[in-house]
Each structure stands twice: as C-alpha cells, then as structure tokens.
C-alpha cells in the first residue's frame, strides 16, 4: 500500500463521524500517567505510530503500562522521580512531539539516556529545546551541538529559568514546563503569541499548580502529580480533512466529541471568515480539555488571510486550508508560515509544488503562501514527501479534481491517523490502493 488512486466524488455524502483521540492529548496522557503517582487509565487513546513510540519510550524508562485494547491503556505511575535509566536507545520514530517533550523530562532525571528517530526526525532541529534545558543544568551530546538526533541527555539537578521564546511553540514551551517540575524554584515561559496550552491544562488536571499571566506561564518545581483517568476527545487536526470534505462537497457530516480547546480551533475561525456556518454544542468531557459536537453549512467560499499571530492555533491545518483556498473566490494569503519549513517535511514546498501540479494557482514567496481561486483542479500523480498531513490534503484535493489522482508514499498517514481511509469509506468515498 505505497500509493492510492482517487477519483472525483460525484454523489451526495453524509454521515456521523467519531474520531480517534487527539494526538497531542494522547502523547500527554501517556506522559502524565507515567509521571503521576497511582493508577491512571485512558480511553479513546490514539493508536498511531507516534503515540506508540511514546508509550514504548516510557516502558523503556521502567513504567508499567498495560494495553487493554488498541485505544485503551492503564498506567501505574510511581511519581516524577521513579523513572529508570533505559537499557537501550529510545527510538521515537517520526514523532517530534515525543522527542521534544521527553528531552524536558529526561533533563531532570539523574541518568544518561539517548533519544533517536527515523531519518526525518533526525533532520529536525532540537537546539531550540536543548538550549533552554542546558540553561537549566542538563547536559546534551549530539550532532551540531545537540541540534539533531541521536541526542544523549544527562540530567540531574535543575535550576529555574525565565525563558522568553522568540517564536511561539507548544513543544518548546512544554519541554521547559516539564523540566520545571524537577527544578529548584519557579520557571516561567513567555511567548509572543499564545500557543497550544495542553501541557498547562494537564499539569493542573493532575494536581499541579500553574500560574498564567497573559502570555506568561509559570510552574514551581517540587510538585507531585496524582493519577487521573478520562476519555480523550477526538483529534480536530485529523478531523480537519473531513471538515474540508464537508465544505468542498457540501456534505452533511456531523462531527462528534471533538477537542474544543480554543488554541486548536483556528481552522473553524478561518472557515467562518470564508462564509461557512459552524453549529456547535458542548459535548460532555470529564478530562482536562473541552469537547463539542458540530456540523457545518457551506455557501460560496470567500478567500481568507491568515496573519502570523494566528498560526499557532492552526499550524497543522495549513496544508488542508491551502486546498480549500483553491476553491474560494479571490486571493488567499497565509503569512510567514516559517514553522512549516521544519515539520516532517518542508510543508510549504510540498503543498505548493503538489497543488500546482494539480492546476492550482499557488505560489510561495519566502514563507508566505498565496493562492488564487476558485480554480478547477485536475488529477495528477503527486507525492506526499512522506508527510502525513501533505498526503491527506492531497487525497482530499483528489476528491474534487477532474480525472484520476494518484498520491504516492501514503504509509506516513499511519503516524497520526491510521483510520483515515476507513472513515472515508464510512462516508461512501471509494479509494483504490496500488
């Protein structure tokens, strides 16, 4: 299953969809369950390659984790200071989230551990994490002054710092906040724009104290965490591809129990500016994050503009928003999306070149993307660049393109959304694997 063939959808599409657990929350559920004292259990956990790597990492660090089913786990944690030195390198596959957050945790642990990953992860920069953690007292060894994996961490006594991030990043912020739990004193992180706040929410939900002052968040060291159990809401970043299908095909799709954190719903705010109506109501959620049910009503689409300060709330959705922009009236502009250059691939390059191959009027000037629409798309053989979000965006583009579209290298979709094609099938959308 190295490539998939897609044809234009010409029939009505409708259905009700439940999504696997949010990837960011699934990572953190494993992390906080492992660091807490007591037995935690989590349902609707995302059973994708990235999250499996996080789970295996903590097993290698001596945590007892039992898989009840692919989407349910039980973790018996013994506290922040109970992790043990791993007997081998910890391989995190393609998961940048797992590597950056683990660097923060291992910075506070009094042993050596080496983190490695696949060629893609090993090419992604880590200095923006390790530089701050080095200031706190951890020692790192690796290529280019610990910028690229494999990276060896020697942790121990940490001191608090006051970090001011030049670029908003939930992963960098989370690594520092996790390290702060081990540090002497109170650590603060200030961002130019608020990024995802899942780590802050999890610290509080697991019994820790977090002080939030505008763009500054502070955590005091020496706190303990207590076990909790909950159901993880569906992943809105994965649902984004089906949100796009609902809009592009005028499909009647009901989305159930999706994560509704305002730092993650930026795509819906953009859709509203495009002329899409979002009808939502709260869904019962007993965990650290809110959830909602919703459906969309679509009219003629208007072009949109996304400023740099908006990007943290929708950075993962930029590729699929580019697909939507090809069908909107006017010129859409996505400003200064620098962060896309250092994802699993250079997503500016991948989405611009591949949508252009399908006839889109799209270009990049520096890190700003411009798309003119509406433009009919035509089928083509396109490449995912082994990036899961590029791959799924191109599959969606193929559903509205004239003639046949082939998307190559689709195995990468398993890193975040192994149920992607199954959910397409549940809507009556047929694809053909080659």
Closest CA to 224 of 237, 241, 209, 240: 209
Nearest 5°: the CA angle 30, 31, 33 is 65
| Residue 421 and residue 411 in contact, taking contact as beta carbons nearer than 8 Å | no
Residue of 394, 407, 429, 226 whose CA lies nearest to 323: 394
Helix then strand then coil, % of the chain, to nearest 5: 35, 30, 35
Integer angstrom CA distances of residue 275 from 248, 281, 296, 300, 305: 12, 20, 10, 7, 13
Residue 123 DSSP code: G
The residues annotated as belonging to the active site are 316
DSSP 156-210: --EE--EEE-SS--HHHHHHHHHHHTTEESEEEEE-SS----HHHHHHHHTT--E
Q: Please list, in sequence order, all residues whose beta carbon lies within 8 angstroms of the beta carbon of residue 239, skipping any fewer than 6 positions away.
A: 17, 19, 255, 258
Q: Tell me which residue of 123, 15, 25 sits closest to 416, measured CA to CA.
A: 25
Q: Which residue has the tokens 């208007």?
A: 302
Beta carbons within 10 angstroms of residue 12's beta carbon: 10
Q: Which residues pair with 305 in a beta bridge?
A: 333
The closest of 413, 431, 383 to 4, measured between CA atoms, is 431
CA-CA distances (angstroms) from residue 393 to 75, 259, 294, 365, 411?
35, 20, 21, 21, 14
């Amino acid at each position: 299953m190295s490539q998939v063939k897609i044809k234009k959808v010409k029939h009505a599409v409708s259905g009700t969809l439940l999504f696997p657990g949010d990837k960011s929350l699934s990572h953190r559920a494993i992390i906080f369950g492992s660091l807490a004292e007591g037995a935690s259990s989590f349902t609707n956990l995302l059973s994708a390659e990235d999250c499996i790597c996080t789970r295996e990492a903590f097993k290698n660090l001596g945590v007892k984790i039992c898989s009840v089913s692919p989407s349910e786990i039980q973790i018996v944690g013994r506290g922040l200071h109970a992790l043990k030195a791993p007997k081998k390198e910890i391989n995190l596959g393609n998961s940048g989230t797992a590597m950056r957050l683990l660097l923060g945790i291992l910075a506070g642990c009094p042993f050596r551990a080496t983190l490695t990953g696949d060629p893609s992860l090993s090419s992604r920069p880590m200095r923006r994490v390790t530089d701050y953690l080095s200031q706190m007292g951890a020692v790192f060894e690796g290529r280019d002054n610990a910028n690229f994996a494999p990276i060896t961490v020697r942790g121990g006594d940490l001191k608090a710092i006051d970090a001011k991030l030049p670029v908003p990043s939930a992963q960098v912020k989370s690594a520092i906040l996790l390290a702060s739990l081990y540090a002497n004193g109170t650590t603060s992180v200030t961002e130019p724009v608020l990024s995802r706040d899942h780590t802050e929410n999890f610290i509080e939900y697991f019994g820790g104290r977090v002080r939030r002052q505008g763009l500054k968040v502070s955590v005091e060291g020496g706190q303990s965490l207590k076990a909790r159990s909950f159901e993880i809401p569906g992943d809105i970043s994965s649902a984004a591809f089906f949100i796009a299908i609902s809009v592009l095909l005028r499909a009647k799709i009901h989305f159930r129990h999706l994560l509704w954190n305002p730092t993650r719903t930026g795509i819906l705010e953009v859709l509203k500016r495009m002329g899409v109506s979002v009808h939502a109501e709260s869904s019962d959620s007993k965990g650290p994050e809110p959830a909602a049910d919703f459906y969309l009503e679509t009219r003629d689409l208007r072009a949109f503009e996304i400023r740099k300060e908006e990007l943290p709330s929708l950075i993962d959705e930029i590729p699929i928003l580019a697909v939507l922009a090809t069908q909107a009236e006017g010129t859409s502009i996505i400003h200064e999306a620098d962060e896309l250059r250092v994802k699993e691939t250079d997503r500016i390059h991948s989405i611009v070149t591949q949508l252009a191959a399908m006839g889109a009027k799209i270009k990049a000037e520096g890190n700003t993307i411009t798309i003119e629409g509406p433009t009919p798309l035509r089928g083509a053989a396109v490449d995912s660049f082994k990036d899961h979000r590029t791959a799924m965006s191109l599959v969606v583009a193929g559903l509205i393109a004239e003639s046949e579209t082939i998307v190559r290298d689709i195995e990468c979709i398993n890193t975040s959304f192994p149920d992607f094609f199954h959910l397409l099938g549940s809507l009556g959308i047929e694809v053909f694997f080659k």
